[in-house]
A and B are shown apart, each in its own frame.
Chain A
């Protein structure tokens, strides 16, 4: 496959231009700038808050310099707390065309939209000249997430993703799983897979933190409906989610925005550090996908039983449907029918192979179901993190 070569040497599988609002007050103007070219590789994202937040600042830097991104237009109201000068400098230092429009200085809504649309037109022409470079599996970073799970998720789509992850790791890719709140109950099992002894207690601590956080939020991981669906214990439920990670050793723990520097399997810790301050760790699946992308994910494998339809800005989402009945209802929104395992027409290994081939096809440019339908979801709200400790990284 041919990737898009960036001046920092990283390679992307898409070549999108971003329009980024730096406060909710600039959202409408940014959306209007995108509107005429929304089906031509121009994506909208941003941060709604008016007050500064180091996590959000870092997230937007990592997203704006993601290898799938070729050009960035920032849209500021003018008085918000976001450090737009710093973000602009960092994007320009990465070699990408970038600019900022400040609505209060441009002369208001209409003028800013007109200037923004012109800027985007020029950027799209420049993107045509992006150099291409040969890309292999060992250039890829792949994330995984589950959402809208049901009793089928843990027995078809999730273990099938695990098979695909094992193959990707074997071929030198970097793969990331997350959702520590869903891993409560299997932390010891997970710790036994730590690639280095000093990482094992960090993995346990990471899940303990999620358990404390969710308890403080009054949220329990094991719901009565789980037992009706055939799940008996907390460990069993967690193993269903955990099975997405496959069987490879766990090489390290990432915080949102940390890009893994070597091949292997990594756990992304999405639960904020410190006291419980900002509400739920993730308000929906969408912010977690954004965090995987900020860790460099070129694409995300999304497993669903009940039938999520989402995609994402920046990086394609491959949707793997665990439940054959859901697949029949929502087939247009799905890329892979893992429910075939339940109907006897495919094995876990065959669906794992199908996911692997879909990854290669998507990386080579084929649109996923959610891309073809125009999905470009994005969400970013306040959080705070301490940097990951030295035991979390491979030395």
Chain B
């Protein structure tokens, strides 16, 4: 079974459907990837290389921006992804 769930075809992050261990080799879009670090259940990893400042897309929608370059298979969370949302319905520039 697949260890990852893609919620929309345009997503650049995938969701782990089980705990993935560091060093484990999994398949991302039918090609192998050895994980540099653990991915806890329901957390995200990069489906491809992502540039600093690039939008992170899940559910086909931007959920924030990358604060640094992210390698394929890397954990995507608070250390490298920040919200673009500002309360009051405004989106921040960039």
Contact = CB atoms under 8 A, between A and B. Distances in A.
Interface centre among B42, B76, B82, B91 (most CB of A within 10 A): B42
B83 A235 contact: yes
A243 B59 contact: yes
B52 interface: no
A188 B58 contact: no
B78 interface: yes
Interface centre among A159, A186, A189, A232 (most CB of B within 10 A): A232
Interface string A176-218: 0000000011111100000000000000110110010001000
Query: Main secondary structure on chain B at its contact with chain A?
Result: loop
A358 interface: no
B59 A188 contact: no
Contact of B44 (A186, A187, A232): A232
Given A229-B42, A344-B2, A236 B7 contact: no
B88 A344 contact: no
Contacts of B2: 344
Interface residues of A, number: 34
A79 interface: no
Nearest to A240: B59
Interface string A59-89: 0000000000000000000000000000000
B61 A230 contact: no
B33 interface: no
Interface string A73-112: 0000000000000000000000000000000000000000
Contacts of A155: 5, 7, 15, 17, 42
Contacts of A348: 5, 7
A259 interface: no
Contacts of A239: 58-59, 61, 63
Given A155-B5, A208-B89, A232 B15 contact: no
Given A230-B44, A234-B85, A343-B1, A243 B7 contact: yes
Contacts of B5: 155, 341-342, 348
A235 B62 contact: yes
A362 interface: no
A215 B87 CA distance: 11
B84 to A, nearest CB: 7
Question: What band does the interface of chain B fall in when counting residues whose beta carbon is under 8 Å from A?
Answer: 20 to 34
Interface string B23-39: 00000000000000000
B64 A188 contact: no
A215 B88 CA distance: 11
Contacts of A240: 59
Interface in B49-86: 58-59, 61-64, 76-78, 81-85
Interface centre among A152, A211, A235 (most CB of B within 10 A): A235
A207 B89 contact: yes
A159 B88 contact: no
B85 to A, nearest CB: 5
Interface string A160-187: 0000000000000000000000001111
Contacts of A159: 7, 59
A185 B59 contact: no
Contacts of A50: none
Given A233-B63, A235-B64, A236-B63, A188 B42 contact: no
Contact of B82 (A205, A215, A233, A242): A233
B64 to A, nearest CB: 4
A238 to B, nearest CB: 9
Given A230-B43, A343-B1, A189 B87 contact: no
Contacts of B76: 232
A261 to B, nearest CB: 28
A283 interface: no
Closest 3 CB pairs of A and B: A344-B1, A233-B83, A230-B43
Interface of A: 151-152, 155, 159, 184-189, 204-205, 207-208, 211, 215, 227, 229-230, 232-236, 239-240, 242-243, 341-345, 348
14 contacts: A187-B89, A188-B91, A205-B89, A227-B78, A229-B42, A232-B63, A233-B63, A234-B85, A235-B61, A235-B84, A239-B59, A342-B17, A343-B1, A348-B5
Given A227-B77, A232-B78, 4 more contacts: A211-B88, A230-B40, A233-B64, A341-B5
